[in-house]
Amino acid sequence: MQTEVERELIKQCKAGGPQFYEPIVRAYEGAGLRLALGMMGNAEDARDALQNAFVKAWHSLPRFDLKRPFGPWFFQILRNQCRDMLRSRQARFSRETLDERLDSRPAGDESDPEAIHRRAVARDVLWQALERVGTEHREVLVLKELQGFRYSEIAEILDIPDGTVASRLYHARLALKAVLEEMNAEYP
């Protein structure tokens, strides 16, 4: 969504028009759902977190600074929502239904069933590793690798200095490597 259009919509929302919130919700729910799924691991909890985050963002709009972009601000709310849900034990990272609910991005043009199976197993191993790596490491990995955010965006979402992102990523990747080694997953 263009920044100017977004700003105008938010102005109208601040003036009390919920109908102007719909295009914003529709613009951000795809990326928001991917982030929430990466954090929560299952579709039901991810949708709950996403809904709650949109409602919280709506109630916080009067305090929203129109000079800032909406995206990182909203993803920060969503990330906090996911963390709260995981902490309050209303939900825990669980990937029980993940494969049934999600279409993984196709890996190249593989048509060999053996290769497809190998990749499916590899994906499963990675999900298990992400589950075991812990919330703090998982969130930075999800933001970088699954969402493709730049360091400056990750810094804003996680509310940390720009220079800390690389360090967080290094430790998260090391932790993931350690978990994969524990699981006897082979890496070059």
Partner 1 sequence: MTRDVSHDQLMRFMDGELPPAERQQVSDALKGSAELKRQLVLFEAMKRDLQELSFTPVHAGDSVWNQVTVRITRPVGWVIFLAGALVWIVYGAWVYFTSSIDMWEKLATGAVVTGLVTLLATVIWERYKVWLTDPYKGVHR
Give backbone dihedrals phi and psi of 46, rounded to 5 degrees, phi first.
-65, -40
Any contact of residue 176 with partner 1 (CB under 8 A)? yes
Site residues (CB under 8 A) for partner 1, limited to 136-155? 141, 144-146, 148, 150-151
Given phi > 0 = left and psi -120 to 50 = alpha, else beta, which region is 16? left
The reply on whether position 157 binds partner 1 by CB under 8 A is no
Residue in the structure block whose two tokens are 């999800």:
142
Tell me, residue by residue from 43 to 62, as one string, x for binding to partner 1 by CB under 8 A and - for no binding.
xxx-xx-xx--xx--xx---
Residue 92 CA to residue 90 CA, distance in Å, equals 7
d(CA 43, CA 102): 8
- φ/ψ region of 65 (left if φ > 0, alpha if ψ in -120 to 50, else beta) reads beta
Q: Please name the residues in contact with 141: beta carbons below 8 A apart, sequence gap of 6 or more.
A: 130, 133, 169, 172, 173, 176
Please tell me the number of Cα atoms within 13 Å of 75 on its side-chain side. 28
Point out which span in 1-9, 62-70, 72-80, 159-167 binds partner 1 (CB under 8 A).
Answer: 159-167
Query: Which one of residues 122, 135, 159, 182 is an interface residue with partner 1 (CB under 8 A)?
Result: 122
CB nearer to partner 1: pick between 20 and 67: 20
Q: Is residue 20 within the footprint of partner 1 (CB under 8 A)?
A: no
> Where on the chain is the footprint of partner 1 (CB under 8 A)?
18, 21-22, 25-26, 29-30, 33-34, 37, 43-45, 47-48, 50-51, 54-55, 58-59, 90, 101-105, 107, 119, 122-123, 126-127, 130, 141, 144-146, 148, 150-151, 163, 166-167, 169-170, 173, 176-177, 180, 187-188
